[in-house]
Amino acid sequence: MHVKPFTFALAIGLATVQLASSALAGDITGAGATFPFPVYSKWAEAYRKDTGTGLNYQSIGSGGGIKQIQAKTVDFGATDAPLKGAQLEKDGLVQFPTVMGGVVTVVNIAGLEPGKLKLTGDIIADIYAGRISKWSDPKIAKLNDGLKLPDATITPVYRSDASGTTNIFTTYLSAVSEGWKKEFGAATTISWPAGQGGKGNEGVTATVKQVPNAIGYVESAYAKQNKLAYALIENKAGKFPLPDDKAFQAAAASADWKAQPGFGISLTNQAGDEAWPITAATFILVYKEPADPAKAADVLKFFDWAYKNGDKLAIDLDYVPLPDNVVALIHDEWKGIKGKDGKPVSGM
């Protein structure tokens, strides 16, 4: 029986694009962020049909992806928390984005339809800090006049692993809540005061589905594919946009992609009526001087194919493809990836 990769991932709690036992010697190996796993899975399936080359990608979290590329056990690492320029320089790595997406808050409240609940950054911060513990809290009730919410204890669900999604989420909370910024800050791991942990976006998704009155934060494709109820979040302009590609594009519209080394900019809490407040890009890590130039070229060929052919697959999953001008900048960046002979490995 054929098992879809994404369904398989939820069933075992560790997502891979294909079974490791079926990986071929010529296949590309990668590991890291769970945020982009649904789109990497779709790209891998289509790429194998087009080229015969497969992708064995382990969705283990950004922290794991960074460790594996540093240990040189994979052909590329993947992270939602971009490395700083000094770290890239120290490790001899090149970093580039692949797609953009949004992080959404999902809830398990009986009878609640997607997009009916409204939340602010302050309220979300207070829930995760343990200062708001009931769905009937006056702050939530005032914002949702006429919406019937239970007098039930909220279970915050968070990432138990080192997570780029957590970094995106807490970067946003730090931008909108001074209390959160002082007490917890932004990081890939946080000392959560309350709630339950789940490994990967898959684990948070599964836990929210299982625990009544839970709230969690996941990449939007996970909410969509698992039919989870999501909350609308007030943006910087005081509006409550839908978490869709239009809102993610609005958040990235005026971004300066070269403002940080490795394109490591933040798209959270951007201005604009239509901007989704927790928008982010996800990133790939490869070596600037790879030990195996041929394999490094295979990695770049895969992502070059994705930039040229993968937009519709990304959009279908609620990811936002990169603008053409950013893809051009990435191709320029690839020219600096060279073998020991000094020749660029990209062949492009």
CA–CA distance, 338 with 292 (Å, rounded to integer) = 10
- Residues 249-273 have pLDDT tens digits of 899 887 888 899 999 988 999 989 9
- Do residues 59 and 329 touch, judged by C-beta distance below 8 A? no
25 pLDDT tier (thresholds 50, 70, 90): low
Q: Taking the CB of residue 181, how many other CB atoms lie within 10 A of it? A: 16
pLDDT at residue number 348: 58
CA–CA distance, 198 with 182 (Å, rounded to integer) = 25
**In-domain check, residue 345:** no
Residues 143 and 174 both lie in one domain: yes
pLDDT at residue number 24: 55
CATH number at residue 64: 3.40.190.10
What contacts 246, CB < 8 A, 6 or more positions away? 274
Residues 232 and 293 both lie in one domain: no
How many angstroms separate the Cα of 90 from the Cα of each of 73, 87, 278?
18, 5, 29
196 pLDDT tier (thresholds 50, 70, 90): very high
Would you say residue 224 has pLDDT above 60? yes
**In-domain check, residue 348:** no
What domain range is 42 assigned to? 5-100+281-334
318 pLDDT tier (thresholds 50, 70, 90): confident
- Left (φ > 0), alpha (ψ -120 to 50) or beta: where does 115 sit? left
Residues 121 and 249 both lie in one domain: yes
pLDDT at residue number 255: 82
1 pLDDT tier (thresholds 50, 70, 90): very low
Chain length of the chain: 348
Helix (H, G, I), strand (E, B) or coil at 5: helix
Would you say residue 193 has pLDDT above 50? yes
User: Domain tally for the chain?
Assistant: 2
Would you say residue 10 has pLDDT above 50? no
What contacts 202, CB < 8 A, 6 or more positions away? 9, 10, 13, 14, 15, 34, 37, 59, 222
The more confidently predicted of residues 252 and 29 is: 29
**In-domain check, residue 86:** yes
Residues 179 and 235 both lie in one domain: yes
pLDDT at residue number 14: 43
pLDDT at residue number 261: 93
**In-domain check, residue 303:** yes
Residues 187 and 310 both lie in one domain: no
The stretch 78-92 carries a mean pLDDT of 95
Residues 89 and 152 both lie in one domain: no
**In-domain check, residue 276:** no
CA–CA distance, 262 with 260 (Å, rounded to integer) = 6
Residues 114 and 250 both lie in one domain: yes
CA-angle at 68, arms to 63 and 69, nearest 5°:
105
- Residues 97-148 have pLDDT tens digits of 999 999 999 999 999 999 999 999 999 999 999 999 999 999 999 999 989 9
Last residue of a domain, one of 268, 300, 319: 268
The more confidently predicted of residues 13 and 340 is: 340
Min mean pLDDT across 302-306, 320-324, 339-343 is at 339-343
Q: Is the pTM of this model over 0.75?
A: yes
Task: Look at residues 15, 10, 18 and name the one whose alpha carbon lies nearest to residue 33.
Answer: 15
Residues 222 and 300 both lie in one domain: no
Specify the pairing of strand 232-233 against strand 118-119: parallel
Percent of the chain with pLDDT over 70: 92
Last residue of a domain, one of 239, 268, 297: 268
**In-domain check, residue 58:** yes
Would you say residue 26 has pLDDT above 80? no
**In-domain check, residue 175:** yes
Tokens of 180: 């959160």
The stretch 25-42 carries a mean pLDDT of 92
Residues 26 and 42 both lie in one domain: yes
CA–CA distance, 94 with 250 (Å, rounded to integer) = 27
pLDDT at residue number 151: 97
Last residue of a domain, one of 242, 268, 294: 268
pLDDT at residue number 20: 39
Would you say residue 304 has pLDDT above 50? yes
Residues 123 and 256 both lie in one domain: yes
Mean pLDDT of the chain: 90
CA–CA distance, 65 with 62 (Å, rounded to integer) = 5
- Do residues 322 and 96 touch, judged by C-beta distance below 8 A? no
- First vs last C-alpha separation in the chain: 39
pLDDT at residue number 74: 97
The stretch 45-70 carries a mean pLDDT of 96
Residues 82 and 165 both lie in one domain: no
166 pLDDT tier (thresholds 50, 70, 90): very high
**In-domain check, residue 274:** no
Helices (H) and strands (E) in the chain, counts: 14, 14
Would you say residue 343 has pLDDT above 90? no
**E strands present in the chain:** 15-16, 28-32, 55-59, 76-79, 93-107, 118-119, 155-159, 196-198, 214-219, 229-230, 232-233, 267-268, 278-287, 320-321
Residues 253 and 131 both lie in one domain: yes
